[in-house]
Chain A
Amino acid sequence: QQPVQSPQAVILREGEDAVINCSSSKALYSVHWYRQKHGEAPVFLMILLKGGEQKGHEKISASFNEKKQQSSLYLTASQLSYSGTYFCGTVPPSYGKLTFGQGTILTVHP
């Protein structure tokens, strides 16, 4: 079951904040976040595990609400380098596979 991301696209000025949401209709074991720039491979940002804490590094952090089966990615004081497509990926509790959401296109302008 593919998770649903929102919004589909975000346009920011440098220094602005953004939140990308990921929602699943099924119970989750973990949520993964990746960023993919045009023509490049997806790059891992972070993983959030059931029962784990909110994670983050520098100005990018994420939360995972297990009961609501939702995760949010927070980008603070955005930089031009943050531009790209952000994918969340969800893994169910039983041994299953990671399924990516449809992606959120983030564009940061000077």
Chain B
Amino acid sequence: DTEVTQTPKHLVMGMTNKKSLKCEQHMGHRAMYWYKQKAKKPPELMFVYSYEKLSINESVPSRFSPECPNSSLLNLHLHALQPEDSALYLCASSRRAWGDEAFFGQGTRLTVV
């Protein structure tokens, strides 16, 4: 199984809502990542978890809150988002951070209204 599964695929939320994005992998990877991608732009790193510990937070606003409950799961909790936060949110995993091939999920297309 070389798949990273993200749910939901699409999400529309209001600026006062609270929602969560989920990511799951069963490849035994110990590094997991959240990226944000705007149209026609490269993926932009948000967070890195290595061995279930947050190792990099790219100065992301606190309205985005990551969580790694175990080595297979990664969540991104969303609260009080702004319309400019609308984007494709990609989860990825790799055997170890940065040194190996990263597998990306299909992403969650988020629209904030």
- Chain A residues at the B interface, C-beta cutoff of 8 Å: 2, 30, 32, 40-44, 47, 87, 91, 95-103
CB-nearest residue of chain B to A105: B40
Chain A residues with Cβ under 8 A from B58's Cβ? 97
- Chain B residues at the A interface, C-beta cutoff of 8 Å: 4, 40-45, 48, 56, 58, 90, 97-107
Q: Are B56 and A97 in contact (CB under 8 A)?
A: yes
B contact face: mostly helix, strand, loop, or mixed: loop
Q: Are A41 and B98 in contact (CB under 8 A)?
A: no
Chain A residues with Cβ under 8 A from B97's Cβ? 95
Some 6 contacts from A to B, beta carbons below 8 A apart, are A41-B104, A91-B98, A97-B58, A100-B44, A101-B42, A103-B42
16 extra interchain contacts, Cβ-Cβ under 8 A, other than A42-B104, A91-B99? A30-B98, A30-B99, A40-B106, A41-B4, A41-B106, A42-B90, A44-B102, A47-B101, A87-B42, A87-B43, A96-B98, A97-B48, A98-B98, A100-B44, A101-B42, A103-B41
CB-nearest residue of chain A to B44: A100
CB-nearest residue of chain A to B103: A44
Chain B residues with Cβ under 8 A from A43's Cβ? 104
Choose one: B43, B103, B105; the contact of A100 (CB below 8 Å): B43
* A102 and B97 alpha carbons, distance in the complex (Å): 22
Chain A residues with Cβ under 8 A from B4's Cβ? 41
Q: Are B105 and A41 in contact (CB under 8 A)?
A: yes
